[in-house]
């Protein structure tokens, strides 16, 4: 005859073992299939190619990796140069992941005067570029296109050049407004890119407000502006809604946040408090090579996003 007390003891012991085993199996399962990281507060956007050491060369795998790490956007400067089928596949993957596609480069010729001169051949060239940008926008759903207005003209008074930039942009706006494409003007620092017309946020703000179109805004590259003028947060506030997008890179070195002198934690907190909902392109290198460097980039954004 089975002793009832021994039976109950054995049953309790067996239940404890099964419970412990169940917990162990659950822990093992979590290790095999980790949950996706929490979303960042702002739309920091890795570039296509930024996480190749982890995800390989396939842009779609890179998008999936970025999404799993908590990023809500991507950007691709060279989007217009990709075959249409690849543009569409990238867009489809971003859509499936609920991610936003940031600004692509529409026009950035550093070698010649263009927007600053009053010339019909130049204007026709710019209109052609705008139409190409609209085609890429319609195919991909990307709503921002980056423009650098080219070199300044040493033979022409600065005020005339500014008037010509405004006039040329106005001439392009009908094409952009009809398609819902927003041109974002990027000032670049004169140390790295000597001879360019557009260098400062106040200068870009003057042009945008003179063009007076919903399709003309500013891209504020914080790396460039820390070099050119500093005063990052006051300039953000002064330009206000004229800024539609940002590029990120610390100075010196143009690497991930935390490797230079910019207090990105405070800048990101300020943007979040302002309610900024646009894309912040991670247009920088990494301080370490390979997977370790990519992980350092992600950790840097986690630290700066932890306000």
Please provide the DSSP assignment of 266-303 as one string. Answer: HHHHHHHHHT--SEEE-----SS-HHHHHHHHHHHHHH
**How many CB atoms within 10 Å of residue 274?**
14
Burial class for 236, CB neighbours closer than 10 Å (0-12, 13-18, 19+): buried
Tokens of 124: 């026709």
d(Cα 245, Cα 73) in Å, to the nearest integer? 12
Per-residue confidence (pLDDT) for residue 40, from 0 to 100: 98
The whole-model pTM stands at 0.88
Q: What would the pLDDT profile of 59-91 be if each residue is shown by its tens digit?
A: 999 999 999 999 999 999 999 999 999 999 999
Per-residue confidence (pLDDT) for residue 35, from 0 to 100: 62
**Who's near 127: CB < 8 A, 6+ residues apart?**
171, 172, 175
For the chain, the domains span 1-32, 40-304
Mean pLDDT in order along the chain per 10 residues (307 residues): 40 39 37 69 98 98 98 97 97 98 98 97 98 97 97 98 98 97 98 98 98 98 98 98 98 98 98 98 98 98 97
Per-residue confidence (pLDDT) for residue 273, from 0 to 100: 98
d(Cα 131, Cα 145) in Å, to the nearest integer? 11
Per-residue confidence (pLDDT) for residue 268, from 0 to 100: 98
Please provide the DSSP assignment of the chain as one string. Answer: ---HHHHHHHHHHHHHHHHHHHHHHHHHHHHHSPPPPPPPSSEEEPBTTTTHHHH-S-HHHHHHHHHHTT--EEB-TTGGGS-HHHHHHHHHHHHHTT-EE--EEEEE-TTSB-TTS--HHHHHHHHHHHHHHHHHHHHH---EEEEE-BB--TTS-HHHHHHHHHHHHHHHHHHHHHHT-EEEE----TTTSTTBS---HHHHHHHHHHH--TTEEEEEEHHHHHHHT--HHHHHHHHGGGEEEEE---TTTS-STTSSS--HHHHHHHHHHHT--SEEE-----SS-HHHHHHHHHHHHHHHT--
CATH code assigned to 40-304: 3.20.20.150
Per-residue confidence (pLDDT) for residue 154, from 0 to 100: 96
């Amino acid at each position: 005859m089975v002793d009832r007390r021994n039976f109950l003891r054995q049953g309790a012991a067996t239940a404890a073992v099964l419970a412990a085993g169940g917990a162990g199996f659950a822990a093992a399962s979590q290790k095999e299939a980790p949950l996706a990281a929490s979303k960042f507060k702002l739309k920091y956007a890795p570039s296509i190619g930024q996480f190749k050491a982890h995800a390989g060369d396939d842009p779609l795998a890179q998008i999936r990796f970025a999404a799993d790490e908590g990023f809500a956007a991507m950007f691709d400067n060279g989007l217009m140069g990709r075959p249409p089928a690849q543009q569409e596949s990238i867009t489809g993957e971003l859509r499936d992941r609920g991610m936003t596609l940031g600004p692509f480069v529409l026009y950035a010729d550093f070698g010649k005067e263009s927007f600053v001169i009053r010339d019909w051949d130049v204007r026709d060239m710019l209109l052609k570029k705008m139409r190409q940008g609209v085609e890429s926008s319609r195919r991909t759903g990307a709503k921002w296109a980056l423009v650098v207005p080219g070199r300044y003209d040493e033979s022409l008074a600065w005020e005339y050049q500014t008037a010509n930039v405004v006039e040329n942009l106005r001439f392009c706006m009908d094409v952009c407004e009809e398609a819902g494409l927003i041109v974002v003007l990027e000032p670049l620092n004169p140390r790295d890119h000597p001879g360019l017309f557009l260098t400062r946020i106040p200068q870009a703000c003057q042009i945008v407000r003179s063009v007076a179109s919903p399709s003309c805004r500013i891209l504020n590259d914080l790396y460039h502006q820390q070099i050119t003028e500093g005063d990052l947060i006051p300039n953000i506030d002064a330009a206000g809604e004229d800024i539609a997008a940002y590029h990120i890179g610390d100075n010196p070195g143009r690497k991930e946040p935390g490797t230079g002198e910019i207090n990105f934690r405070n800048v990101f907190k300020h943007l979040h408090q302002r309610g900024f909902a646009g894309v912040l392109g991670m247009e920088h290198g990494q301080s370490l090579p390979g997977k370790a460097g990519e992980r350092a980039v992600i950790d840097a954004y986690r630290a700066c996003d932890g306000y």
